[in-house]
Structure 1
Amino acid sequence: MRGIEGKVVVLGSRGVGKTHLVTKYIKNTLHKDIGPTIAASFFTCKVLLDDVKIKLQIWDTAGQERFKAVAPMYYRNANAAILVFDLTQHKTFVDIKSWIQELHRHVQEPMILTLVGNKLDLLAQRTVTHDEAYLFASSIGATYFEASAETDQGLEQVFLSTALGLVRLADEGKSHSLRQFNSCDSISAYTNNNTALSHTYAALSAKNDNAAFRLPYVHVGIPVDGDDERKVTGVGRLETPSWSIGHIAFGEEESSSCCW
């Protein structure tokens, strides 16, 4: 079985719900008393997409201005970025532009971009329209989803889309930092295999009735509406991953029971 390991950074202003989105997806729990992230927290999540295993190394970065000076160390060698804003706070949407500029300054290789409008459960209070966010996502080459850590709406699509994007990035062979391997073997040279991509494409396409749905392309993203919540056979998290909510900078990761 083919395997891919990619680094994902989660960016956005303070209070938009970055940590809530990540922990709710990974652990299926919502801790409302979590304080602001200090510098960064580190998580791992293993996703199985048909016959492809993807290990996501997720760096949940702090949104406070005082930590921006150290943020570039977390962008280094990132393969994907999840950019989060609060649907009820328009300024957090405007702030996404500065995060994009940061990525352009510090990331040299192509990467997958996903824009997420969080707090969809507060729909009556929204200040950012779907069309406004959709058009902006198109302009920066990102896919777009609206999500809620409170209700789980859109969460699965955000991370599956990111994982699928990493598969496409691997197949295009444009990223030297994206690690690839076979089953339980050590990280090794990658042998091109388009069969796995076609399987994963079919899996997520079946999840969305929109005929315009496509896999996210590197730098040429096509926004996807994340309203369809149907489950798909062969797509999902491989296991409950190890994680550390208090992990700061480059601390040690808890060992995983999975062979890879």
Structure 2
Amino acid sequence: MSVSDQQSKSLEAKVVVLGSQGVGKTSVVIRYVGGMFSKAVSPTIGASFFTYKLSLDNYRVKLQVWDTAGQERFRSMAPMYYRKANAAMLLYDITSPDSFYDIKDWVKELKKNVDYPIIMCLLGNKCDLDSGRKVSIEEAEEYAQSIGALFFEVSALKNTGKYILPCLMD
């Protein structure tokens, strides 16, 4: 095997994180990218940008993660952040049916503004609050399947569930 065969190739991908205010978008991103959780996360204004590097198979992958604001007043800015995105994480709170139904609007907006194939993942956050669950796993799985998305549930607080950023690269 030559030296060049041993060297890994590089990939860069843009991941946009979408969902309503308060679903835990920033907490999920910080848990994955920074390996920590803070209850003192302020609402995102516009968008926050994170970089995460990982190795996957023989590739060095650099992810540009755009954590968008969920407040309605920033909604019109979202298309600017997900242009040229390779993947979208669509987050909802399993205890909030409204946050789940809002995902449908995010998907419509995404499809209206992205005219190329994009990997989507529906991500139910706060699965540590299962006793207060209002969105069933079956309902979420069915919706994810209907839009061609992957589906996972996580808890940023408890650091449980399958974190999706590496899964988007599979």
Q: Tell me which interval the TM-score lies in, with the shorter structure as reference length.
A: over 0.9
* Structure 1: 4+ residue segments shifted above 3 A: none
Map 1:157-168 to 2 at 5 A: 158-164=164-170
1:95 aligns to 2:95 (yes or no):
no
CA contact (8 A) 1:115 1:145 kept: yes
CA contact (8 A) 1:21 1:155 kept: no
- Structure 2 stretches lacking a partner, 5+ long: 1-7
Letter of the 2:31 counterpart: K
CA contact (8 A) 1:56 1:163 kept: no
Aligned-residue identity in percent = 50
Q: Which residue of 1 aligns with 2:112?
A: 105
1:55 aligns to 2:62 (yes or no):
yes
1:179-231: per-residue Cα shift (whole Å, max 9, x none)?
Answer: xxxxxxxxxxxxxxxxxxxxxxxxxxxxxxxxxxxxxxxxxxxxxxxxxxxxx
Q: Quote how far apart the aligned CAs of 1:122 are.
A: 0.4
Output the CA distance in 1 between the equivalents of 2:161 and 2:116: 28
Give the SS at the match of 1:47: strand
Q: Quote how far apart the aligned CAs of 1:3 are.
A: 1.5
Give the SS at the match of 1:144: strand
Q: Which residue of 1 aligns with 2:3?
A: none
**Which has the larger helix fraction?**
2
1:117 aligns to 2:124 (yes or no):
yes
CA contact (8 A) 1:11 1:81 kept: yes
Q: Quote how far apart the aligned CAs of 1:28 are.
A: 1.1
CA contact (8 A) 1:41 1:59 kept: yes
- Structure 1 stretches lacking a partner, 5+ long: 165-260
1:135-165: per-residue Cα shift (whole Å, max 9, x none)?
Answer: 0000000000000001111243x1111122x
Larger radius of gyration: 1
Q: Quote how far apart the aligned CAs of 1:70 are.
A: 1.4
Letter of the 1:51 counterpart: N
Output the CA distance in 1 between the equivalents of 2:25 and 2:141: 19
- TM-score of the superposed pair, with normalisation by structure 2: 0.93
Aligned-pair Cα RMSD in Å: 0.9
